Amino acid sequence: MDMSRAIPSLVFILCAVALGAIMPAPKAQAAGPEDAMRATGLRVLGATRGYATAALWLRAGDAYRRGDYFETQAMYQLIREMQPRNPAVYSYLSWNEGYNIPGQFPDRARQLPWLARGLQTIHEGQRELPFDASLRLEEWHFVFNRTRDFPLEVLRLELEAWHEREPAWAAVVKSILASQDALTQARRDQLDAFPDQAVLPADLQDLLGSFDELDAPARAKLLDPAFDQLSETEQGSLGTDFDLVARQQLRAFLALDREVQVIVALANWARLHLMCAALEPVLNMKPRSLSADAALLNSYLYAQKNLPLGMEEAFTPRYRAGVKAAFAAGRALARAAYGEEGAEEFSVRMKENFNSLPGWLE
């Protein structure tokens, strides 16, 4: 048997084995007693709140330019309290906390606290503005983008926020994190190094499946970094079907030990499911952009494609029902915004995306 050919399918079989019998264990959260005192202080400001807010923005900007990120964070917290009903505030602050400030630090240990603050700001905004679609999309973007660099760290952070609403998902994530903790140091190093070598692909299972269908010489060519130096003519259709990013992803993933591959594959599905969960409420929110409906549909698509074996009964019915609801809502929104032509264009694009799941849009 050709073991290199068996790797992709075996990984997803092992994902099912790794899940085993897992049980969620939700916990409740309690609010702090200091909230009422802060709210009273803000009400006292009255009409001068606008001037105070402007001063805080200026001070936060100055602290950020000086590299004093802890003063920046203190100003951000006050700004959130001064402008709790403005979704743009939460979006802007979470971007700085979750993207820009972590980028100023070379080591992951110093990046992670800021990553957590960015996500906390998004969740705080969602609590203050529970019917704002933009903050749901903000979380979708955060999960999609940040899990490419910090896949397990983001899942660990989101576990606290989602374990009660998504117990089955939470059980899988706890299993993933337990597997991570059980790794040898060498395999943990492999896992930690993976994001530096390749972007975690949403279409991981499709990519591995396409690679699996190649003959041995073609697979060997793709795994050889020297292939990247060939001209487009020399690469031929193989280079077209597997672009540079896809080749980097294949090499990085297939170089991992099997236990690490299983963790990465499960984490990939877990983040895709979370992206579905984050956006599902937007279908009942107005206003919202059509991009939210499209993002939700594509999240369902890739979550289903990367679903671990044995989990179909728990998740596929939800995905399928969600796809139908999102497709209908997206068509209605496109029709309202762009007329019948816009609705038809939306339908055509989604049908192209879902050609691998026939009947799901009907």
Task: Give the number of other CB atoms < 10 A from CB of residue 10.
Answer: 14
pLDDT at 258: 97
pLDDT at 177: 98
Read off the tokens for 287. Answer: 């206003």
Task: Give the number of other CB atoms < 10 A from CB of residue 136.
Answer: 26
Say which residue the tokens 């540079």 belong to: 244
d(CA 239, CA 249): 14
Write the DSSP assignment of 228-293 as a string of letters.
GGS-HHHHHHHHHHS-HHHHHHHHHHHTS-HHHHHHHHHHHHHHHHHHHHHHGGGGG-SS--HHHH
d(CA 358, CA 362): 9
pLDDT at 112: 95
In angstroms, what CA-CA distances link 245 with 9, 151, 212, 250, 256?
21, 18, 17, 9, 17
pLDDT at 15: 62
For the chain, the first-to-last Cα distance in angstroms comes to 41
d(CA 334, CA 354): 18
Longest CA span, the chain = 77
10-residue mean pLDDT profile of the chain (362 residues): values are 51 55 39 41 46 72 77 75 81 90 91 95 95 96 95 97 97 98 97 93 94 97 97 97 96 97 97 98 94 97 95 97 98 96 96 96 89
